[in-house]
């Protein structure tokens, strides 16, 4: 496997040249004095060094060794505890954390780049800090000041980690039917009892304490989602002076033996009257969880992007070195017995597909992160509202589309390696195994598609969608004629998406099956159209600077490939979506 190199040049291009994020920060007083272009560059440069040098080398060994469970204790692979302590000591576990409690206070658009680097280097390792960051978001937004002051500083410092305990053996997507109970106590605490499964980082040896956020029901809770509360349940009790006390009444019953992310401990957690503290008000648990959900789902999308980037870096190095056959137009390297495989059209098709999807995904995930920052930090109510509605609309696209195309890019990387991609030594097969979970957790991609079309498009009467469509139209209407090769197909793509949206809004009124039947294809059409917008924005910048550096000419070539070879996929997807739901229900259940 090639050594991981953080794509810093492309990150700087997206942040500073395409989106000019410093202009956004200057309009947000909470960020204006916190971050600038120089700070951003320094953070990304240093993060890239630490991650590539300390964490990336553990990726393959961590996969081969995996986690182990013995009598309730979980041991992570060799090197993980030391690497985590070094990573935390550098402050990297708190890039986006609230500065009042020891975090760096950086905007999401910066922490998103650090997440990409970390997950490219070692997805299993990155999951521990990702879940901690999610727990911190919920605590910071909904917990009492007492709980914030007691738990956030050590979580941000990486002295403790966090976990999110939602899923139960019988309840995954449908959290309204969870059975975990919380009994109120005279001192204001609660006794939490129940079993949770698939808990990332529920038990491990990286830190001295683990803080679990657990969904549970109070005795008098109403049925369904409206009767769920959220509780903070520490592994080790925390004394009033901040020191650690006795072990709480909880345990890790086992860990899962998984297809991938083997160095990430995926635990069965048993709570046996464990002491917990309510976060927010009773029966407001799902709302508290959803505070972090947009961040987490974007984070999973970034995981897909990260693995696609790592696959590309491996594949391009191999394609330049591996010699097989001669170029179709004749020998390219007369000094060798054969030409490097990068001369072959199909290898170039796969490499360019990977490159175009990765770079489009980096721009799109950064764009969504900017909306999160605007929704959080803007002082203008209308601006915050628009940004939040864009976040709500685009989050399922970011989670599902980035991870769906990530599987394509990791498979392309494996294919370029040929037989070497199928064996362990080159590392490509691990990327595919690790990538597969990204399409499943934080809500399967089919659920994301239903969320996009059912809740965000149909549920808002098309209002959320209108924000995005109008922004793209404003861009194409104002674009210079020199950009026509990109804006004209973008106009056609948004017109196609608008027609699909209108048709589905109409059909859904009379047949509820239409939403589910078309949702996945609709999300993919939306994704390719969103990437087309990103590529048009990048092409605008690259066109104006193409004489300065080969970087910009490379960017233009990749943009042209995207519009010529990838954007046309929307036509077959649209045709499938328009076919309706009838063919899905021609067979009875016993005919399958």
* Residue among 115, 442, 514, 521 flagged as catalytic: 442
Torsion of CA 299, 302, 303, 307, to 10 degrees: -170
CA distance 252 to 267: 6
On whether the CB atoms of residues 279 and 139 are closer than 8 A, the answer is yes
On whether the CB atoms of residues 407 and 439 are closer than 8 A, the answer is yes
Nearest to residue 232, comparing CAs of 276, 183, 284? 276
Sign (positive or negative) of CA dihedral 479, 41, 318, 124: negative
Measured N-to-C along each axis, helices 428-436 and 381-417 cross at an angle, to the nearest 10 degrees, of 140
DSSP state of 58: G
C-alpha to C-alpha distances, 416 to 3, 76, 410, nearest whole angstrom: 17, 32, 10
The DSSP element (H or E) to which 518 belongs, if any, is helix 513-544
Other C-beta atoms lying within 10 Å of the C-beta of residue 41: 15
CA distance 273 to 279: 17
DSSP state of 157: T
Write the DSSP assignment of 37-90 as a string of letters: HHHHHHHHHHHHHHIIIIIGGGHHHHHHH--EEETTEEEPPTTHHHHHHHHHHT
Sign (positive or negative) of CA dihedral 215, 220, 224, 225: negative
Is 309 a known active-site residue? no
Query: Which residues are identified as catalytic?
Result: 442
């Amino acid at each position: 496997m090639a050594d991981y190199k953080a794509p810093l040049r492309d990150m700087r291009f997206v942040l500073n040249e395409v989106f000019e994020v410093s202009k956004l920060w200057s309009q947000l007083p909470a960020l204006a004095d916190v971050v600038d272009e120089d700070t951003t560059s320094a953070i990304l440069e240093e993060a890239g060094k630490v991650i590539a040098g300390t964490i990336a080398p553990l990726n393959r060994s961590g996969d081969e060794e995996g986690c182990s469970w013995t009598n309730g204790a979980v041991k992570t692979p060799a090197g993980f505890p030391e690497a985590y302590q070094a990573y935390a000591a550098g402050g990297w576990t708190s890039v986006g954390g609230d500065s009042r409690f020891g975090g760096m206070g950086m905007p999401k658009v910066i922490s998103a780049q650090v997440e990409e680097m970390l997950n490219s280097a070692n997805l299993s390792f990155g999951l521990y800090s990702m879940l901690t960051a999610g727990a911190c978001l919920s605590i910071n937004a909904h917990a009492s000041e007492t709980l914030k002051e007691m738990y956030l500083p050590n979580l941000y410092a990486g002295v403790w980690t966090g976990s999110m305990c939602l899923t139960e053996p019988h309840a995954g997507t449908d959290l309204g039917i969870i059975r975990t109970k919380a009994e109120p106590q005279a001192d204001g605490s609660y006794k939490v009892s129940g079993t949770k499964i698939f808990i990332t980082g529920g038990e491990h040896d990286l830190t001295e304490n683990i803080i679990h956020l657990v969904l549970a029901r109070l005795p008098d809770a109403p049925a369904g989602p409206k009767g769920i509360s959220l509780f903070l349940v520490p592994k080790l009790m925390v004394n009033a002076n901040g020191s650690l006390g006795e072990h709480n009444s909880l345990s890790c019953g086992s860990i899962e033996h998984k297809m991938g992310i083997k160095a990430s401990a995926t635990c069965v957690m048993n709570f046996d009257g464990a002491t917990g503290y309510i976060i927010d008000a009773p029966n407001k648990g799902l709302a508290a969880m959803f505070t972090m959900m947009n961040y987490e789902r974007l984070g999973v999308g970034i995981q897909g992007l990260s693995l696609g980037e790592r696959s590309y870096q491996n594949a391009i190095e191999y394609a330049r070195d591996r010699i097989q056959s001669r170029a179709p137009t004749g020998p390219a390297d007369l000094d060798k017995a054969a030409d490097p495989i990068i001369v072959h059209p199909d290898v170039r098709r796969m490499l360019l597909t990977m490159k175009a999807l990765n770079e489009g995904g980096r721009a799109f995930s950064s764009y969504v992160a900017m909306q999160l920052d605007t929704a959080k930090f803007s002082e203008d109510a209308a601006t915050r509202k628009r940004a939040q509605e864009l976040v709500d609309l685009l989050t399922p696209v970011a989670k599902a589309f980035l991870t769906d195309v990530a599987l394509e890019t990791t498979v392309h990387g494996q294919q370029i390696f040929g037989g070497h991609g199928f064996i362990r030594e080159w590392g490509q097969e691990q990327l595919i195994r690790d990538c597969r979970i990204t399409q499943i957790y934080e809500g399967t991609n089919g659920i994301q598609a239903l969320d996009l079309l059912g809740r965000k498009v149909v549920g808002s009467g098309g209002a959320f969608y209108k924000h995005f469509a109008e922004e793209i139209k404003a861009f194409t209407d104002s674009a210079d004629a020199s950009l026509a090769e990109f804006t004209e197909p973008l106009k056609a793509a948004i017109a196609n998406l608008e027609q699909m949206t209108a048709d589905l809004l109409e059909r859904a009124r009379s047949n509820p099956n239409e939403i589910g039947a078309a949702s996945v294809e609709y999300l993919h059409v939306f994704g390719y159209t969103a990437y087309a917008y990103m590529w048009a924005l990048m092409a605008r910048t690259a066109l104006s600077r193409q004489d300065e550096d080969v970087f910009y000419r490379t960017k233009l070539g990749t943009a042209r490939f995207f519009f010529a070879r990838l954007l046309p996929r929307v036509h077959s997807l649209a045709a499938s979506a328009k076919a309706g739901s009838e063919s899905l229900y021609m067979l009875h259940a016993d005919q399958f």
